[in-house]
Structure 1
Amino acid sequence: MTVIRALSLTDIKKRRHPGTRTWPFPLPPGGAGPSLEPYLVHPSRRRRPVGGPPPRRKDAPAMSDRQDTVDALLPEHRPDRPIATAGQDTLGRDSFVRRLARAMVRDGRASGVVVGLTGPWGSGKSSILNLLAEELKAAAQRDGRPAPVVVRFDPWLVSGRDDVISQFFAELLATIKEVGTKAGRNGDALLDLANKLFGYAKELGPVFDLALPGYGKAAAAGFKAGERLTQRDVSLSKQKRELTEMLGGVAVPIVVLVDELDRVEDAEVRAVAQLVRAVADFPGISYLLAYDRSRVVEALGGKDKERGAAYLEKIVQLEVRIPVTLAREGQDLFLSEFERLAEVAALPQGWRQDARFVRMLGVMQTQLLTTPRDVRRVCGCYAVLRSMTVDEVDWIDLLGYATLQTKAPEVIERISLRPDLVTNDPPPDATVNFDWGRFFGKEGQPTSDDRLKALDVTSDGPIAHLLEILFPALRKVNLAPWEARVPPDGVRFYRALMTALRLDLVPGGVTRKEIVTILEADRNTMAERLKTLQTEGRLIIFYDRLCSIFPEVSAHDPEALLIALGRLPQRVFAHEPNQAILLSVWFERYATFIARQSGSAASTIANALQGLITAGQYDAAAAFLLPEAQGRGFYPGPQRRARWCMPEEVVRELTTDLSGRVAEALRDGPIDAVLTSPFPLMLAVTSGNWTSEAHASLSRRVENDEAVLLSMTLIFYSCGTIDEEGLNRYLDPAAFRRGLDGLTPQSAGWSGRAAVAARAQAMIALSA
């Protein structure tokens, strides 16, 4: 079993940016299939990449410039902004709020009760306070009574104990005065009450400056009276009695709503508690404090929780827990929020019925989105991510990714450092190392438990359940009846995952829009655009993107596209021989996709292959025919699972034609005009068309012709390796080695980086 060490926080801090990883092979999404897998090198023998991915071209536009962006701004999602009115209430809290309002105000008078509204962060306490303030005023209007004075105080917006005390009274006095100026016959009583409270506040709190909202120069004269009151030698208890009498004469209930008490520092929690105790027993004033009980108990009692709980009981007369959100209510809330994104986020028709969406929603709703704030945070995160990655990342996977980003950002950090833990396909531009002489084994692959452990995720927890939906590599059993299709832009694939992590294309990335433009072009335009991609070094990534979105996007002229793609290997071989081999690999994959699309597609493939063979473009055609012939079991040797992409007689005919042409062309023609990969040779050997005469002829040429030796070295060793036994199928290894030994510093063409590396690889392989 492969053991993987979990990434520590130190690792994460040291390696903030995702880099290119080492891969055993550069295969398209879905793996090699039965086709080229036998020739892939074992991970223990692969070369490590040198450097990172190619830098973005200076003139290459960012992803948002390469695609159609969402025209309209996504709906504003502020996860910490509570609902403000009953019309926004999707959880049906109206009856609870009405009962709470009746407890605060009875028969038009404040009950004087201190209520604690408890619940964890994000459970909707602030929303309840907003609805309560609205209901108190609505109830007064229904009963024909004076509107209450509703004082809102949020200690989180104030810093420091002294500021909390001063701001508390500032809000209280300012609100009473504001209502008093509009309260008709009750206005004078409220203004007198404000002045009296001003004096009482001066006695209670430290010296502070009451620069109150609403108390400008026009109010200065009114507060002179308050100053004179405080100058008298009046005891605090006497002032309290006077205030009690004054409150009894005010026919307007006063309700103080204190929000987010659990977010402030311990000293500030205690300051608010002291304030409430000091004024809580006044008749005509009711209080509602919203808080997370465990946090406030901790702040009041320090390490002694029992002491903190006892202190809280002396302040709060009645604790009411916010109503528990049922699973159905939570789902309705999420769908209500998510519905707002449907049109502007370009969600597909019937998105509610998608089996993958239903499955993901079930995991999210029952285990992860436990509060209304969770719902709004995830929807807000999704709105931003979707606007930045539209058409590049599957919409359902992006929702799961947004949930991870919101609820488990540390897991996203670890994935960014080790994307190989969750993806099975390698980066399309990763270093490659094929083994042309033997079959590839997958021993040593980590288990799903190994991968989860490396991500520091509990295997039976809710985060693991969400990860299993997003990443099949983390599933214990890769059976997902709810997954009718593999999402081509799913984050299980390296490209889509990197797009989500970067919120941008990978360097040299190709957008869906670029793919569509090429597929819809005529033959000449198509060839020009492919040539541009070649110049920019983006052909491999183009293939990766092309295969990922097939068959969602199909070519206008698939035969012309295949011929254009099949010509690319010879076009790039002289400059990048390893790229030429990869282009043949990707051609085989894409042609297989087309061939499996429908029965009539096989004739399109056959025509394209025949066109390439006739034009002397053998590599891509051979890459497709080799596994097809082996799958059919036409020739001696290991038989692979039959793909049945082509009719049997067509495969035989094309294989015989191509193999014969290759054997003939290699007798005395330039190698690089015939081969850019081992695939044509492998097909010739497999089909029995590589005779002893052809074997001897190529052996003589590699020993005596440095140009031929260079081509064969690049073909076999620039993108892989082959041992002496494997090489002997095509030519004499001893002759090959003598050719290498005879090279001098003056040998033409051997000073390039690819040639030097391939020569070194060949010497190692043949001396083992």
Structure 2
Amino acid sequence: MTNDDLQFTDDRPITTQAQDLLDRAGFAQRLALAVSSWKNQESLVISLTGGWGSGKTSIKNMTLDHLAAVQGCQVIEFNPWQWAGQDSLSSAFFAEISRVIQREDPSDDDRKLAKLLRSYSRRLNTGASLADGTAKLLPILLASTLATSLLGTLAQGAVAQITWLGVAGASALGSLSLILQRSGAWLGRWAGNLDEDAKDSALTLSQLREKLQKLLSTRDKPLLVVLDDLDRLSAEQMKGIFQLVKAHMDFANVVFLLLFQRETVEQGLWKAGFDGADYLEKIIQVPFSVPAIASSQLENLLFKRLDEILAQEPQLQQRFEQDYWSRVFQRGMRPFFSNLRHVYRYSSTLAFHCRLLRGTEVAEVNAVDLFALECLRIFAPETYTELSKHKALLTGSDPYSRQDEPQRVRTTQLMDQLVSLAPVPHQAATRQLLQEMFPTLDWVFNNTNYDQGIQLRWLVNSRVCCDEVFDRYFEMSIPEQDVPNSLLHELGRRITEPEPFTILLTSQAEDRQAEILQRLIGLVEEFPLDQSVEVVRTLLHAGERVGRKISFTNWSPRQQVTRLLRIYLQRFEQEADRSQSVINAFALTPGLVVVEQLLGADHALRRKGDVGYFDDSGLEQLKSVYMRKLREKADSDPDAFLADGDQASYLYDLNSYSEGGDEGRRWVEANVTSPDRFLQFAQGQVSVRTTHCGGTTTRTSYIPVSSLESFLGLERWTQWAARLDSLELAEDQCRTLALVKEALAQSEQSVTAEESNR
């Protein structure tokens, strides 16, 4: 089978002993021996009972396979369920036996026996047809008679009596017409049967039975009559077939093998007016039950099927968690499998869904979770359907929820509801399965919480408990807004290749880049430590090219790149190793954006008294390289530097990290020498303030007053504003100038307020 072929598992019964997977061939052989060795003047009735899917028909097929091999008897298979619509089940039964007996190279005795059985079948059918036809016509005759008689009693006088005679005649003629119309078919069949009987002989039914008995008693091999699917019949049909067997238990060298689910048949016979258990005891002489399947055998078969599926799905193998699988199967899935049909149904549809979610290079789901959810979908479908409606609660992703008592109550109620939807025998296993799949609920049931590292591993392994991948398991596809695992895998594979990694990342929309980088944090443990310089170079390079857009719920892509790098560096126990990796990488590639954030975060930690990411010497060395590259950027092309979106941060760093604390200011004074450059500089100082009120979000642009003092000073800002007032400016330049004036006015108000407070 190729990787693109898909074959559903066949759950039909096996037909030969060679197909036996549960060591039942020995049982079938002993049953075949018991049948073939039967030599007696009366029939033998054997039953083989078992639950749905327990393997009754498979054992029957292996028994017949052995009997055919040893030529132990002649087999007649009669499925009464297929004849349930016939007028006479008994006549169909004996007609079928007659056809089988003379089918292949019959002897003279076989031909005689077949002929007698046909005659016997017709005689049974004739009696049944006559009784049935009479029963159908009697209501018509009685209705006609009743109507005319009623009219006769009401008629008064000669005219009325004549009228009544006319009505009676019409009624009789109408009834006769209807009788002839409805009875023509069965009268024809009845006449045909009588004609055939006359041709055979005018034997009575009793005489026919005697002749049948004589022919059967001389046979050297018994007849095996197999009646399967008895539990599919209606109550009346069950009654009829068991009465048929009971009525012919005196036939010699005939063995009946009856297959059914005992509880179902007993209930059916009870509905038909019998004590089911007692009635079966009177008919069945040798009762057998299907041998129980050893749980180890069933599990081995299930595991074999799962291994075959995984062999066709290498992507699912890559992150298959053996410990997790062991817990899920032993605690939750095992009770759902009690017979072969369960295994076949489950493995067939599982293979299909694995194919849907296989991914390209890596699977898009967790194999164990997929196996567990498929178990619920097959055996507890209502629970499975309801699961998809409660993503936020199950994954703990509701942004407005807290781990408090009301939330605990809601979660417990949901769990009870989901479990109650499962079939009663499977409710305990369903509860266990849900708790294994959703450790996000452990705070409710076990008072356990998990740190971010463990939650990131869940995300990397595409666990259903993560809201980012939850929908895949129920939509059976990758939603467009989702980040596919194949993309994350490819980025992880390219983490030592700066340009390919950056091209792949920046090919995604800016609002998705941050989410992708957030998901990559889960793969940090797989980034190679022995290629740390290449890894750092890649992230420094990407930081220069990714978007800067920030949202209320997520950091900007460039902030996520820096965060990803910090988490990677923390894998080095020694701060000096972290410093050296960044210094070496920074020397080989641009990376001002990320290094600026690294330095800022390290200094912030040190100001709070915490330990930074780098050692003291490494931090100073990294700062020195950063300042050198920053000066080169600023001096080589002042116009490009002023147009850079990070201009304000860079100028603050030139101030902060220089010895005099004013290098940034001096650069501005030396290079902001024209109206265009001043406007570029001023635009770079613009910040955005966001406010929320009454469901409305307002974004306001402004220039911080601190920028006026830090760069150029109030006097120079005022001079530039006055000079620009006399010039013709573009619309965007006018907006920038307006912000400059607002900042100057706010500064003046602050000075006035301070003076008035003195």
TM-score (norm 1): 0.62
Q: Name the SS of the counterpart of 1:456 in structure 2.
A: helix
Of 329, 335, 345, the match for 2:303: 335
Partner of 2:341: 373
1:455 to 2:400 alignment: no
Which of 212, 215, 228 matches 1:259?
228
Please name the residue that 2:509 is paired with: 534
Cα 1:130–1:604 change in 2 (3 A) is farther
Counterpart of 1:247?
216
Hey, what does 2:154 align to over in structure 1? none
Specify the alignment match of 1:471 in structure 2: 438
Does 2:52 correspond to 1:118? no
State whether structure 2 residue 5 is matched by structure 1 residue 73: yes
**Aligned with residue 153 of structure 1, among 70, 79, 100:** 79
**CA distances 1:148-197 after superposition (whole Å, capped 9, x unpaired):** 21415272xx4x8424965x865764565345332453643553355245
For the residue of structure 2 that corresponds to 1:467, the secondary structure is helix
Return the match for 1:563 from 540, 557, 562. Answer: 540
* Deviation of 1:505 (Å): 0.5
1:261 offset after TM fit, Å? 3.0
Deviation at 1:617, TM superposition (A): 2.9
5 Å-filtered alignment, 1:676-695, equals none
Equivalent position to 1:286, from 255, 258, 263: 255
Q: Which amino acid aligns with 1:562?
A: L
Does the C-alpha gap of structure 1 residues 527 and 253 become closer, same or farther in structure 2, counting only changes over 3 Å? same
Render the CA deviation track for 1:239-280: whole Å, top value 9, x for unaligned: 444433343344443323333333454444444444444445
Cα pair distance change 1:491/1:461, threshold 3 Å:
same
Q: Which letter does structure 2 place at the counterpart of 1:297? A: E
Aligned to 1:397: 369
The residue that corresponds to 1:24 in the other structure is: none
**Structure-2 separation of matches of 1:316 and 1:425:** 62
Q: Secondary structure at the match of 1:255?
A: strand
The 8 Å contact of residues 48 and 258 in structure 2, kept in 1 or not, is answered as: yes
Asked if structure 2 preserves the Cα contact closer than 8 Å seen for 1:104 and 1:110, the reply is no
How far off its partner does 1:404 sit? 1.9
| Distance in 2 separating the partners of 1:148 and 1:91 | 27
Mapped to 2, the partners of 1:250 and 1:355 lie a distance apart of 63
Letter in 2 for 1:256: V
Matched to 1:511, the amino acid is P
User: Match of 1:129, SS?
Assistant: helix
Distance 1:345 1:289, change over 3 A: farther
- In 2, the alpha carbon distance for the partners of 1:272 and 1:626 equals 89
Structure-2 residue corresponding to 1:606: 582
2:66 aligned partner: 135
Residue 591 (1) aligns with residue 523 (2): no
**2:291 aligned to 314, 323, 348, which one?**
323
Counterpart of 2:114 (choices 191, 207, 211) is 191
Report the alpha carbon displacement of residue 282 of structure 1 after superposing the two structures with TM.
3.2
Rounded Cα–Cα distance in structure 1 between residues aligned with 2:315 and 2:334: 23
**Paired residue type of 2:568:** I
1:313 paired to 2:281 = yes
- Residue in 2 that maps onto 1:674: 646
Taking the TM superposition and a 5 Å limit, the aligned residue runs for 1:148-547 are: 148-153=74-79, 155=81, 158=82, 161-163=84-86, 173-174=95-96, 177-178=99-100, 180-185=102-107, 187-189=110-112, 191-192=114-115, 194-196=117-119, 198-199=121-122, 202-203=125-126, 228-229=196-197, 236-302=205-271, 307-346=275-314, 354-363=322-331, 366-390=334-358, 391-424=363-396, 442-443=403-404, 446-447=407-408, 449-456=412-419, 461-475=428-442, 476-477=445-446, 488-519=461-492, 523-534=498-509, 538-540=512-514, 542-543=516-517, 546-547=520-521
Distance 1:327 1:474, change over 3 A: farther
Q: For the residues of structure 1 that align with 2:585 and 2:128, how far apart are their CA atoms?
A: 90
The structural deviation recorded for 1:451 is: 4.9
List alignment gaps of at least 5 residues for structure 2. 133-191, 635-640, 666-680, 699-703, 708-730, 734-758
Closer/same/farther in 2, CA of residues 608 and 175 from structure 1, 3 Å limit: farther
Residue 347 of structure 1 deviates from its aligned partner by 7.8
Give, in whole Å, the separation in 2 of the partners of 1:593 and 1:361: 34
Output the CA distance in 2 between the equivalents of 1:170 and 1:710: 96
C-alpha contact (below 8 Å) 2:438/2:464 kept by paired residues:
yes
Identity of aligned residues (%): 18
Mark the CA change 1:520 to 1:277 in structure 2 (over 3 Å): closer, same or farther. same
User: Counterpart of 2:569 in structure 1: which amino acid?
Assistant: A
Q: CA deviation at 1:553?
A: 7.8
State how far apart, in whole Å, the 2-side matches of 1:706 and 1:170 are. Answer: 101
Larger RCO: 1 or 2 (CA < 8 Å, sep 6+): 1
TM superposition shift of 1:367: 2.1
SS of residue paired to 1:533: coil
Q: Distance in 1 between matches of 2:41 and 2:620?
A: 94
- State the number of aligned residues: 595
For the pair 1:90 / 2:21, whether they are aligned, the reply is yes
2: distance between equivalents of 1:348 and 1:110? 63
Cα separation, 1, equivalents of 2:696 and 2:685: 16
Shift of residue 377, structure 1, vs aligned partner: 2.1
Q: CA RMSD in A?
A: 5.7
Q: What TM-score comes out, normalization by structure 2 length?
A: 0.62
What is the aligned partner in structure 1 of residue 593 from structure 2? 617
Does structure 2 retain, via aligned residues, the 8 Å contact 1:509–1:541?
Answer: no
Instruction: Tell me if structure 2 keeps the 8 A contact 1:173–1:194.
Output: yes
Partner of 2:37: 106
Moved more, 260-269 or 329-338: 260-269
Deviation at 1:418, TM superposition (A): 0.8
